[in-house]
Amino acid sequence: MSSPSLALPRPSPLDRLRFLGEPKWLITMLITVVVLVATYLGAIASPVVFAVALGTAMLTESVFSLLVRGHLINVQSAYVSGISVTILTNPQQGLVWPFALAAAISIASKYALVYKGRHLWNPTNFGISLLLLIAPAKFAVLSTQWNNNLVPVLVIWTLGLLIASRAKILHVTATYIAAFFAFGYLRSLISGDPYWTEIAPLTGPMYQLFIFFMITDPRTTVSTRRGRVLVALIIASVECALRMSNESPWMPDGIRAAPAFFALATVGPIALWLELRSRPTAKR
């Protein structure tokens, strides 16, 4: 006589939605809020460039995942990169190719710049930084505030801080912000510029994406809490040095436009490489 089968309990609708509380989904929801706010404020050039950047990012991710891994992977990373490129990219009027190129380079870097199975650069940070260096006359970033309306900024910051806390990356964001305020005061003392002028960029779209998506990227940060805090402090100090060198004739225009991006693009990969290099290689 066969034993009766045990019926497994059916998951409730609440159980099915619990995955939305995972860090990667929280970050995806936050970037969606950011793009909705940007669209509301008219900061996105057109639906065409949005479709080009997002479509290129997702297509590049799909093609490379098939070629390198042999199967399709989740395109959440491509979704975040595509939206980030759309919001941050500010090329010459009417140009669309910078959106596609930045998105393609960003995603391709995940597969090309790899060490011990980890990509070293945050994808969007690498793609935008590279284009700022090689095509500064055609490519720029949106580094100013969207407008003088503080409500969208407060919405993004409130959600961003809550999600960063839930995703257990708030210490990275908080460390960088505190260091930015401290170094801003130092620059104000040295340059004589008003303190508010030095810290005002933190409310712009570039820094909102930087502190909530780039510097906190779990795949390109070191593994320990203490290490992440130290790296955030070093990034802020390098950015401060780049800002204070803005008037130097040797400073490339691309770095002058986004010193935070280049500070991360320099310090972050070195820190991760050093950590990965110190780990013993697994025996096969």
pLDDT, mean over the chain: 84
Average pLDDT over residues 182-205: 90
Contact yes or no for 271/220 (Cβ under 8 A): no
The model carries a pTM of: 0.85
Backbone angles phi, psi at 75, to 5 degrees: -100, 20
- The single-letter DSSP state of residue 145 is -
Going by C-alpha positions, the residue among 122, 38, 53, 128 that lies closest to residue 86 is: 53
CB-based contacts of 56: which residues, under 8 Å, 6+ apart? Answer: 82, 99, 100, 103, 104
Q: Note the maximum CA span of the chain.
A: 89
* pLDDT confidence bin for 2, thresholds 50/70/90: very low
Q: What is the pLDDT of residues 227-252, one digit of tens each?
A: 999 999 999 999 999 999 988 888 88
Q: What is the pLDDT of residue 202?
A: 87
Cα-Cα-Cα-Cα dihedral sign, residues 256, 261, 263, 269: negative
As to burial, measured by CB atoms within 10 angstroms (0-12 exposed, 13-18 middle, 19+ buried), residue 55 is middle
